[in-house]
Amino acid sequence: MIIFLLWLFQALYFLSIFVYWIQTKEYRIDKLIDFAKSGQAARKLFLPVIFAKIGLLSCFLFIQNIPLLYICLFGVVDLFVLYRVWRYGVTRPKLTLRAILIIISSLLSLSAILFLGKSYLTAEIILVTSPILFMILTDIPVLLVKNKIIENAKRRLIAVKPTVIAITGSYGKTTTKEFIFQLLSTSHNTVAT
């Protein structure tokens, strides 16, 4: 039980970071691939720590019944996590429905792996891959909902026939939008996104 709790603490920490970066990259696989190619992913996702854990856990497969090694490994990584939390705080994703689904699905798959008696090595591999897998699986319902919202918006635009002002550019869009909204709202019924 001690080994599991030590492992669970760091698993939750790393899962939180993974989901945060998946959100930051807008749940887009192309942006995640660019993130990985840039070299930032290894540093920001602490991949060297995770791969070192996977390597050591692979070595432990050849040594039977030595829980002290697991306690030492997970204890050292827990110290690393505690230091990171103390020094920099916790990187948390915004708890949207999609993020919650990814986190819960990942935790359920990790729990199932450990409940079925699989090794912590398998759980570590699942920890790294499950957020991406569940991100891809949640694309389907998200696209269905998004399409439904777009269709409803199109119907309303056709019914109401509003004058639409679109603002583009690299800088100052929000400020310009607010200025236009304030000016037009004095004499017209206006809505700003």
The residue among 63 and 81 whose pLDDT is bigger is 81
User: What pLDDT does 144 receive?
Assistant: 92
- The torsion of the CA quartet 39, 45, 48, 54, rounded to 10 degrees, works out to -130
* Of 73, 82, 68, the residue nearest 121 (C-alpha): 73
Asked whether residue 53 carries a pLDDT value surpassing 90, the answer given is no
Which helix (DSSP H) or strand (DSSP E) does residue 184 occupy?
helix 173-185
Give the angle subtended at the CA of 130 by the CAs of 124 and 132, to the nearest 5°.
Answer: 125
- The answer to whether the CB of 20 falls within 8 A of the CB of 92 is yes
Is the pLDDT reported for residue 3 higher than 80? no
Share of the chain above pLDDT 70, in %: 98
| Cα-based distances in Å from 95 to 102, 103, 138 | 10, 10, 15
Across the range 48-77, mean pLDDT stands at 78
User: Is residue 60 over pLDDT 90?
Assistant: no
Q: Whole-structure pTM over 0.75, yes or no?
A: no
Tell me the average pLDDT across 85-107. Answer: 89
pLDDT at residue 64 above 70?
A: no
**Residue 130: other Cβ atoms inside 10 A:** 22
